[in-house]
Homo-oligomer: A and B are copies of this chain.
Amino acid sequence: MGDSAYSFSLTTFSRTGKLLQIEYALNAVSNGRTSLGIAAKDGVVIATDKKVSSTLIDVDAVQKIQSISPSSGFVYSGLGPDYRVLTRSARKNASAYERTYGERQPISQTVKQTASLMQEYTQSGGVRPFGCSVLAAGFDEDLEPKLFQVDPSGAYFGWRATAIGKGFVNAKSFLEKRVTPDILLEDAIHTCLLTLREGFEGEINGKNIEVGILEKETGSFRILKEEEVNDYLNEAN
C-alpha cells in the first residue's frame, strides 16, 4: 500500500526520539540539485546547480539564488515552491527591520527568523515541515560576511563552507580539503566552481549554474551574469 501508508500528518516522535517527517524532508533536500557556499574573509559566494530537465526551459529565467535584501541572498536545495514561501517571508522581515531601525538586518537575524518559521512547521497541527534547506549569505552586526545553512528542522549553523542537496557529502569533504580560514572571495569563487564541477553531470557553464556573491567592499549581494561565470570557469582552465 505504499510507503506513505500510516504516516500521519503531524511530526511526532518515533520510539527512538526521531521526528520522522523531518528526516523524510531531509531526504527531499538530498534529492535536490546541489547548492554550496564559502564564506571568505572579504565576502561570501553561494552557487547552485540549476541544470534543468529540458533544453526547452528558459534557463535565463530560472533563478534559484534570491536576493533577500540588497546585502543578502539565499539559495536552496529541495522543493522550490517551499523555498519561495521562505524567501517571501525573509524579504518581508528584512525590509520591516530596515524600516524600523534604519539599517540592514544582520544576516543572523534573518536566518533565525527563517529557522523559526521552519521550526513552527515541525510542531504545529496539520502541517508538514518545509522540504528544503537554505544557504544564506549576508553581513552580521560587525559587518563581517557570513554564510549560514538552515535545515527543515529549523536547525541552523554558521559555516565557513558547506554544501546541500545531491552529492553534498562528497562536496563537503572536497571543501574541507580546500577551504582555508583566510580564503579570499576570488579564491572562494574558484573553489566553489571547482567543487560544483566535481559532482556535475555534463559540462558546467554559465547557463547551468548560478553564482551569487556578497562583497565586503561594496557591501552588496549580486548574482553573477552568465558571462562572469564563464569567465571564472575559463580562468580555472
Contact = CB atoms under 8 A, between A and B. Distances in A.
A183 to B, nearest CB: 12
Interface residues of A, number: 77
B84 A115 contact: yes
A88 B6 CA distance: 34
Given A58-B160, A81-B115, A160-B57, A6 B3 contact: no
Nearest to A78: B17
A79 B153 contact: yes
Interface string A50-64: 001011111011100
B13 A28 contact: yes
A10 interface: yes
Interface stretch (A94-102, A120-128, A205-213, A229-237): A120-128
A170 interface: no
B15 A27 contact: yes
